[in-house]
């Protein structure tokens, strides 16, 4: 499992935020740090997926030795940190990096996702075609 995979899953977990919170449930602006708690849960989720894909049900410590990563700063809002932000009135949460903090405000820059871009149309089917196929 790579650090990039861990961060991607941790960002999604931060967006979901557990049973009592998710971006569409609360009203108003939201700023949530992608904390170490989400990274730990992401590691567990990725390890479980790897075990399922590999076809065995081995113990996580035996199947996947943990790679040591650089220690991360405490889970707080700070420059360089990754947060999940939902603008006021919006239903979507955006993963952002904190660029600057001044006078009680944070300057956020959206984090680009490299896996989105050009895709092959050979494997994509319009929804209308799928509905027509099911009705036949």
pTM, two decimals, is: 0.43
Q: Which residues make Cβ contacts (< 8 Å) with residue 92, sequence separation at least 6?
A: 23, 86
Q: Which domain holds residue 95?
A: 3-135
Q: What is the pLDDT of residues 41-65, one digit of tens each?
A: 888 888 888 887 887 555 444 444 4
Q: What is the pLDDT of residues 66-81, one digit of tens each?
A: 544 555 555 678 888 8
Number of domains in the chain: 1
Helix H or strand E segment including 16: helix 3-16
Helix H or strand E segment including 5: helix 3-16
The C-alpha atoms of residue 34 and residue 77 are separated, in whole angstroms, by 9
Q: Which residues make Cβ contacts (< 8 Å) with residue 35, sequence separation at least 6?
A: 14, 75
């Amino acid at each position: 499992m790579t650090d990039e995979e861990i961060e991607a899953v941790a960002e999604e977990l931060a967006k979901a935020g557990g049973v009592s919170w998710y971006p569409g449930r609360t009203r108003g602006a939201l700023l949530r740090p992608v904390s170490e708690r989400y990274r730990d849960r992401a590691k567990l989720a990725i390890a479980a997926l790897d075990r399922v894909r590999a076809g065995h049900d081995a113990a996580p410590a035996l199947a996947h030795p943990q790679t040591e990563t650089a220690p991360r700063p405490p889970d707080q809002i700070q420059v360089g940190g990754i947060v999940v932000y939902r603008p006021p009135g919006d239903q979507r949460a955006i993963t952002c990096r904190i660029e600057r903090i001044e006078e009680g405000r944070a300057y956020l820059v959206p984090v680009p996702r490299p896996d989105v871009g050009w895709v092959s149309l050979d494997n994509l089917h319009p929804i209308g075609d799928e509905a027509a196929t099911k009705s036949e």
